[in-house]
Structure 1
Amino acid sequence: MKTLVLHIGMAKTGTSTIQNSLGQASAVLRERGILCAPWKPFNHSFDFTVLFLEEPRKSFFYKQQSPITDEEWSKQLQRLRQQWIDLFSSMAQGTCIISAENLTRLSLTEIQSLQAFVAPYFTKVQAIAYVRDPLKSLKSQWEQDVKELQEPMDAQALLQRTKRRMGYRFLQRWSDCLGAENLLVRKFEPAAFHNGSLVDDFFFALGVEGFGEAAIEEVESNQSLGADGTAFLLALNQRYPQYQDGAFNPQRGLARRLHLFYQAMRAAGDQPLKLQIKFDEEEARRFNRRIDFLNQFLGEESGFAAVEASEEETLLPEPCAIGTDYYVELVNELAHLVESFAERSDELAAENRRLNALLEESEGDPPEA
């Protein structure tokens, strides 16, 4: 029997930890009958989900390739399809795991397109989603929206948009397509993880046998930028948005390598982002309807509590409140990045000179008798 497990998020529920742990242990897992794509990025949001989008040119993968001709774009999509087909065809039996939190964004039609793509290779398809406390999830989603902001927007307006967009209707779409028995919804509660490990909890929830004997190291991945980092990124995005005309903004430094910039930002400060999110009466009613919907998948005993309305406004981190220490550390971390790449450039230049010298020597040698 061949089973496909789709880990569909949600975002900010340890997805990066699961993805990196499984990806780096792909060789060990394969020995146990568990197939995970061995290539990077281990987050399959980039190279898997795009294959089923009705408008793939709006994907992050397309933005990464831009500017690109229609012919070359078509070749890229075909390359990705074949890459996954080759992986699926390489297993005779067992479980294949794909992890992509943006699968939650697929429409019903797009999910059906995914099902048609994988149907020839698997006898069973199931999905697993971790869900956080809605209030904590809203905070994390706002921080994620700050990172993905594509147009200038102030912090409060962005929070209002996050409140409107955040929801759990994707669970119904996946349940309708796969069947309720093939959708597993699990609360993201670190204190309750099986063996105290998110990765162990992931396999325990799936009921995958033979994993306990495989020594898989859990690779923790913290993508939070903290209070200062989030406030700084808001100001940066106001002046230099990540994207312009559907492609990376050429005026934005490291626009194509944001992971390096975020690496420096996380190293620059460790002040956590703490938000006491407030709701007016209408917002509270809408949010509580979403909580009620989510609780249908968890059961009454393990459901989440409703939120209360407030006349106060949420206090959000402001760029003007960032201390000098953060900027000093950020500049220093970026300087370290520049230095590491400069050293690598020097090494490559020295190696190039060495190879050129060898080539000149070989060209000057007299022919053998």
Structure 2
Amino acid sequence: MKTLVLHIGMAKTGSTTIQNSLGSASAALAQEGIVCAPWQPYNHSFDFTVLFMQNPKKSFLYKQLSPIDDEAWESELQCLRQQWTGLFSGITEGTCIVSAENLTRLSRDEIEQLRLFVDPYFDCVRAIAYVRDPLKSLKSQWEQDVKEMQQPVDAETLLQGTKQRMGYRFLERWMESVGEENLVLRRFDPAAFHNGSLLDDFFHALDLPSPADIALEEVSSNQSLGADGVAFLLELNSRYPQYKDGAYNPDRGLARRLHLFYQALRKASRQPLSMVLQFDEEEAARFNRKVGILNRFLSAEDAFSEVQASAEKTQLPSADAIPPEYYVELVNEMAQLIDTFADRNDALVAENKRLSEMLAAAQASAGEGDAQGE
């Protein structure tokens, strides 16, 4: 029996922990009959989901590789297809796990394309997703939208867009594709994880034996930037958006290395991001319909509460409230990053000089030998 498990997120539910832990332990897991792609990135949102998108040029992978011509891009996609078919075709028994939280964004037609791609290699396809409290998820998604801002927009307008886009219809699409019995939905509640571990809970939810003899690393990542960090990022993105003309903005510093910048923002921020989300009558009704969809897939014990309408507005982080101390800490964190890479550069220059001198000495010695031979 060959089973494919598609871990489809959701966002901010420990996906990076699961991805990095399983990917780094892929060799040991293979001995237990659990196959995970051994190559990086372990987040398959980049190199798996893109294969089924109707417009793959909207993917993060395309933006990362830009500028790239059509021929080179098609060659890249073909290499990815061969890489995945090579992995799938080598499986004779057991379970293969693919983890990509952006699989939740696929349309019905795109999911059908995915099934046509994987079905020849597996007897069964299952999907698993973790879901956070919708209010906490909305806050996290708004922060993610701040990070991925495509064009300058104020915080309130961005929040309205986040409220409208956030939804759970993808659960219905995936249920239609894999069948209700093969769709596993888990509430993301660390206090209720099996054995107190997200990874143990993941294996337990899938009825897979937890590999007790394998040291799987619980990776902490995707942490909040904090209130000051989000407020600062809003201002920065309004002037230097992350993307421009479908590619990374060449005027944006660290645009291709945002993880380093976010690392500095997190370290500089001492105040956590805390927002009391408010909804008007229309927003509350729309949000509660989404909660209703989600609760269809959860037990009464795990069901989420609805929200109440309010005449108040959500108080969002503002750059006007950022204290001077934050800028001091941020500049210092960035300076330390510069120091780290400057030290690496100095070491490379010194090593290059040493190797050049060795090469020159070897060439001189060879020249002397040739002269003596004559």
Q: What TM-score, normalized by structure 1, do the two folds share?
A: 0.97
Aligned equivalents of 1:196, 1:86: Cα separation in 2: 36
Aligned residue for 2:120, secondary structure, equals: coil
For residues 59-138 of structure 1, the aligned pairs below 5 Å read 59-138=59-138
Aligned equivalents of 2:349, 2:260: Cα separation in 1: 23
Q: Which residue of 2 aligns with 1:312?
A: 312
The aligned amino acid for 2:135 is L
Is the deviation greater in 94-103 or in 78-87? Answer: 78-87
Q: Confirm or deny: 8 A CA contact 1:3 1:96 kept in the other structure.
A: yes
Q: Confirm or deny: 8 A CA contact 1:32 1:210 kept in the other structure.
A: no
For residues 193-212 of structure 1, the aligned pairs below 5 Å read 193-212=193-212
For residues 103-182 of structure 1, the aligned pairs below 5 Å read 103-182=103-182
Aligned equivalents of 2:328, 2:17: Cα separation in 1: 29
Q: Which residue of 1 aligns with 2:280?
A: 280
Aligned residue for 1:142, secondary structure, equals: helix
Aligned equivalents of 1:351, 1:75: Cα separation in 2: 36
Aligned equivalents of 1:61, 1:187: Cα separation in 2: 30
1:361: how far off? 2.1
Aligned equivalents of 1:89, 1:161: Cα separation in 2: 42
Q: Deviations over 1:39-92 (max 9, x none)?
A: 222111111111110000011110001111111111111111112122223332
The aligned amino acid for 1:340 is T
Aligned residue for 1:119, secondary structure, equals: helix
How many residue pairs get matched?
A: 369
Q: Which residue of 2 aligns with 1:191?
A: 191
Among all aligned residue pairs of Structure 1 and Structure 2, give the percentage whose two residues are the same amino acid.
Answer: 65
Which runs of 4 or more aligned residues in structure 1 lie more than 6 Å from their structure 2 counterparts after TM superposition?
none
Aligned residue for 2:292, secondary structure, equals: helix
Q: Which residue of 1 aligns with 2:323?
A: 323
C-alpha distance 198-270 of structure 1, shift in aligned 2 (>3 A): farther
Aligned residue for 2:153, secondary structure, equals: coil
Aligned equivalents of 1:226, 1:175: Cα separation in 2: 36
Q: What TM-score, normalized by structure 2, do the two folds share?
A: 0.96
C-alpha distance 210-275 of structure 1, shift in aligned 2 (>3 A): closer
Q: How large is the Cα RMSD of the aligned pairs?
A: 1.4
Aligned equivalents of 1:48, 1:31: Cα separation in 2: 24
Aligned residue for 1:137, secondary structure, equals: helix
The structure whose Rg is larger is 2
* Structure 2 gap ranges (5+): none
Q: Which residue of 1 aligns with 2:243?
A: 243
The aligned amino acid for 1:7 is H
